[in-house]
Structure 1
Amino acid sequence: MLKIAWTEVFAHSLPEGHRFPMAKYDLLPEQLLYEGTITTDNLFAPEPLSEQFILDTHDATYWKRLSNLQLTSSEIRKTGFPHSEQLINREVVIMNGTLQASLFALEYGIGMNIAGGTHHAFTDRGEGFCLLNDIAIAANFLLKYKDVKKILVVDLDVHQGNGTAQIFQEEPRVFTFSMHCGHNYPFHKEKSDLDIPLAEGTDDKTYLKLLSDTLPRLLQEQEPEFVFFQSGVDVLATDKLGKLGMSIEGCKERDRLVLELCSRNNLPVTVSMGGGYSQQIAHIVEAHANTFRLAQHIFF
C-alpha cells in the first residue's frame, strides 16, 4: 500500500505573505482524495521526530538554538520564515514524515511525504525555507539503524540541494546528484557528487534527454540500495522562483522516468515534495498530484 505522510499546515495561521506557498500542502491531499487516487488509509500523520535522530545529522548547538527560538534576526531572514514554536514543531514532524516514509519504502517499495525536500538546511544552519534536512536525517537513519549500505539522492528541484551536498560531502555511502538551474538560488553552490547545472529556459525535451542519459548510468555505477527523490515542481516555466521552461506534462514524464527506474531495479524510493511556486495554485497542485498518481500506477 502507498503510504503518505501528511502534516497539516493551517496556512491561515501564518503571516499573510506566507499563506499562498503553504496552501498546497493542504490542497494536494484534498485533490488526491477527491479524485480517488488515494483514500484516507494511504495517509498517516507522523509524530514529532525524536531528538536523537535530529542530532545524528544536525549540530547540537544549532538544534538547541533553533528549538529554543534563539537564532539571530540575520539567521532567521536566511530561512525565509518568521520563527515560532508552531513552525519548529511542524518542521520536526515533517522530518519524521520522511523517515517513516523511508521505512514504508523498505516494506512496500515506495513511501512519500506531502512536505519535506528541505534540501537547503545544512548541518549547522537553515536557509531557503528549510530549517532541518529531512532527506539527510532519513538517510542517516537508514545508514545507522537499518544497515543500508549505499544511498542515491536524486534532487531534481530547480534549486541545487546545497545543504544535502554539504552534509554528505565526507560520506561515501551517500551519492548526491543535483540537476538544477545553474543561474538561480543558491548563488553560492556546494559541491554535490554530481551537479548538472542547466541553462535558463531549458525545455522538456532537453531536460528529459539529459536525465534519461544520466540516471540509468548512475544506478549502474553507484549500485545504490535506496533512493531519495526530491521531486520539486519549481522546474515549471510558470514558477516564480525557477528559471527553467518545463511544462506540467514534462514534469510528469520526469517523475515517471525516476519512479519506473526505481521500480524496475527493485530500489526502494522515498519521495519528498520540494518546491513549487507558480502563480496559479492549480498548476502547483496538478504537477505535484501527478507524482502521487504515478506512484500508485507504477508500484501498486
Structure 2
Amino acid sequence: MSCSQSTAPVNILNNPQFNCDLKCDFSYDYTTSPVLIISNKGDYLSIKLDSSQNITYNASTYSLNEMRIYQPSLHSYNGSKTDAELIIIHTRDTSVGNLLVCVPIVVGSSNSASLSIMDKVVSSASLMTNSLDKTTNVNIPTFSVKTLIPLKPYYSYSGTLPFPPCNGRYDYVVFNKDDSAVLSISRKAYKALSKIISENAYPVRQNNSIFYNKNGPSSSSSKNGSDDIYMECLPTGSDGEQLVPLDMPSSNNMFDDQSIKKFYNDNKWVSWVVVAIVLAILIKKIGLLAFNKIFSSKS
C-alpha cells in the first residue's frame, strides 16, 4: 500500500541545510531486554520487547513502542536505497507525538555487534514466523537496543508516518550510511528476510528542512552516572607545552606531622650540616676556654 499524502520518508543527502544541536539532542537509557517478541506483518518484521525502554529527544521523554525491519530501506541515501532499514518507534510520554529512529541495514560485516543480532532475529523469524501474523519469542540474554544505535552524527526532520495510516506529525532521527552509521546483516540472513517479508513500495518525498546533528546520540547513564569522562583543561604556552601550576600546600596542613616528617626525610643532609656546624662551634669554644685557662695559670 502506497501513501499518496505522506511527507516521509525522504532522501538523506550529505549536504544538510541546517545544523541542529540542542533541539535535536538525542540521548537514550536503553537497558538489557533479553526477550524479543517477533511478528511477521507481511511487508515488515515487528519486534517488541518485554520491558520498558526510555529515551530523551529535544528535552521530551519517549518510550519505545516497537521496532520494525523493512526491506529495502524506507529512506534513500544520496538517491540510493540500502538493503533494509530498522525503524525504532517511540511514543512521547506526556503528549501526542512519536519519534522514529531509523538506521540503515547493509549486507556485510562492518558492524560485528549488530551482525550477530540481525542474523539471530532474521534466522529465528524465517523458521518460526515465515507467514503472515505468526509470532515467536527469541531470547538474546545480553540484548540491548543501544547495540543498534550508531554513535555517529544523524539527520532529523519532521513528517507524517511513512507507512499506513501515513498521517500525523512525527519527528525523525535518521542515520546515514555514508557516515558508516549502519547495521550489518549477513547475505544468508538477508536472503531469508527477503523470502518472509515483501519489498515495500513507499515513495520518497522532498523535504527542505532536514537538520544535521554532528555530535551524535549519547547514553543518559554516561551523562549522569559513573561512566563520565573527566577532562582537565590546562593552559598552554606558545610552543604547546602545558603550563601546569605547582601544587601549593594549604595553610591547614602545611605544618602537620606528615609534612614535617616528609620535609625531614627529604632534607636529612641539611640536618647533618647543621649538626656539624654546631659541633665545630662548640669545639672551638671549648678549645679557646682551655687555651685561656692554661696560659692564665702560668702567669
Please state which band the TM-score falls in when normalised by the shorter chain.
under 0.3
User: What TM-score, normalized to structure 2?
Assistant: 0.21
User: What TM-score, normalized to structure 1?
Assistant: 0.21
Higher-RCO chain (CA-CA 8 Å, sequence separation at least 6): 2
Structure ID, larger Rg: 2
Q: Name whichever structure is richer in strand by fraction.
A: 2
